[in-house]
Amino acid sequence: MFDRAVKFVELPEGLGDQIKACNSVFQVQFPVKLNGRIEIFTGWRAVHSEHRLPAKGGIRYAPKVNQEEVEALAALMTYKCAIVDVPYGGSKGGLVIDPRKYNADQLEQITRRFARELAKRGYISPSTNVPAPDMGTGPREMSWIADTYKHLHPTDINHIAATTGKPVSQGGIRGRVEATGRGVQYALREFFRHPEDVRHAGLEGDLDEKRMIIQGLGNVGYHAARFLSDEDGVKVIAVIERDGAVVNERGLDIDDVARFLRHFGGVRGYSEGRYFENGTEILEMECDILLPAALESQITVYNADRIKAPLIVEAANGPVTYLADAKLRDRGVVILPDIYVNAGGVTVSYFEWIKNLSHIRFGRLERRYEELKGQQIVEILESLLNKKLPTYERKAFTDGARELDLVRSGLDDTMRAAYREIREKFYSREEIPDFRTAAYAVAIKKISTSYIEMGI
């Protein structure tokens, strides 16, 4: 995908190779004593690029994670950050583990040991490498990792910025948990603001009543599906999960499905829809929007020809393989690529990191001041009009922005601006075949400018 896009960017000889290469990768094997037995764990942290620091990206806990995957995901982070103008390099970590097989105490022991191994070799630090949640990890793990870093560097005043995606009480930021899902929603809204692009996908109108299939109701999928159905009128007609899929053409209640999933660990037996054991077949069902939000390589050469969705929105990292991507493009399927669509997570991570470095919550200084100013405007308006404003109009003036409002506004602005940039690139050159290539070209251009101006 990189090679296809790099042809559309003018670069000094060799720079493309440097941008593409993964700068470093560290593999570690470490022992943890669990219930009197020693278990050995294997993990990686890859730094794909350091043209901006810190390098940023999640840590994944999965039974099948490997070095190549971690390096590829680190590369995606580099391009993702460039696209949304988040001033970071790209990094990613992985630990071979099935987190469901361990209790919280054991996971804490394992996570702290992994964090120590990474931190002592410079693979965790607020200034050079900042992890975040990914598959199998969440706020809890980020809190343990940041605390481990603090113990190793007790005099680092910015220790809390060693990870992002922490619980709010531990220096996290409001809106981070749902940020990737929100970003997906903002990306789709922006897409539907461009009728030409919507027509390009063979669709029309806005998001309301669009039929969507979602794969994966994890942190990303759940929030994206819930926001899109509750706030934009999207009809989720199928949810694909680990143990199969549940389908209801009239639309599924996402919160209800999620509750069932939490309780029973799957969708089998959910009564408000038809159950299909072979979930991946449901990817091929007719719909307007297909939203893969689970694992990579879900749409491959084996099923690409049967995919009926005219629009694929990559909420997961790498859900469509390179060869499948080409097949889909030939059939005119529009794909909004992962390096744009799921960049909301790292965008809000950036806000969290800034909050941590400035040691103050966004809005803390100005909120009441804004309210006071709004109050004064309302009073002037009311005296000029000689009547009281209705409560909702008053509120529009007098509510100062809370941290969550600012996070949402910053994220929305970021997703809109990035879409417009990619779109401009796509329409500016006839030969650019699709949005993904345009997105990569935008990212490569920005990274190359950074290298050229900085010097090598």
Q: Decide: 311 and 199 in contact? Cβ < 8 Å.
A: no
Least gap, CB of 223 to ligand GLU (angstroms): 13
Catalytic residue among 20, 56, 80, 92: 92
Report the site for ligand GLU in 238-277 (rule: CB under 6 A).
none
CB-based contacts of 329: which residues, under 8 Å, 6+ apart? 335, 433, 434
Does 279 interact with ligand GLU (rule: CB under 6 A)?
Answer: no
The count of C-alpha atoms lying within 13 angstroms of the C-alpha of 356, restricted to the half-sphere facing its C-beta, is: 29
Least gap, CB of 415 to ligand GLU (angstroms): 13
x/- mask, ligand GLU, residues 1-40, rule CB under 6 A, reads ----------------------------------------
Among the listed residues 348, 306, 345, 347, the one whose alpha carbon sits nearest the alpha carbon of residue 327: 306
Residue 92 is a catalytic residue: yes
Q: Decide: 222 and 267 in contact? Cβ < 8 Å.
A: no
∠ CA 103-108-109, rounded to 5°: 100
Does 93 interact with ligand GLU (rule: CB under 6 A)?
Answer: no
Among the listed residues 64, 80, 456, the one whose alpha carbon sits nearest the alpha carbon of residue 297: 64
Does 317 interact with ligand GLU (rule: CB under 6 A)?
Answer: yes
Does 346 interact with ligand GLU (rule: CB under 6 A)?
Answer: yes
Q: Which of these segments, 52-60, 211-219, 361-369, 430-438, binds ligand GLU (CB under 6 A)?
A: 52-60
Report the site for ligand GLU in 123-162 (rule: CB under 6 A).
132, 134
List the one residue from 49, 129, 298, 349 that touches ligand GLU (CB under 6 A): 349
- DSSP structural state of residue 389: P
Please say which residue, 184 or 282, places its beta carbon nearer to ligand GLU.
184
Please say which residue, 134 or 325, places its beta carbon nearer to ligand GLU.
134
Taking the CA atoms of 218, 26, 91 and 3 in sequence, report the sign of the dihedral they define: negative
Q: Which of these segments, 55-63, 224-232, 240-248, 448-456, binds ligand GLU (CB under 6 A)?
A: 55-63
- DSSP structural state of residue 299: B
Among the listed residues 172, 271, 267, the one whose alpha carbon sits nearest the alpha carbon of residue 221: 267
Q: List residues binding ligand GLU (CB under 6 A).
A: 56-58, 132, 134, 164, 317, 342, 345-346, 349
Q: Mind telling me the catalytic residues?
A: 92
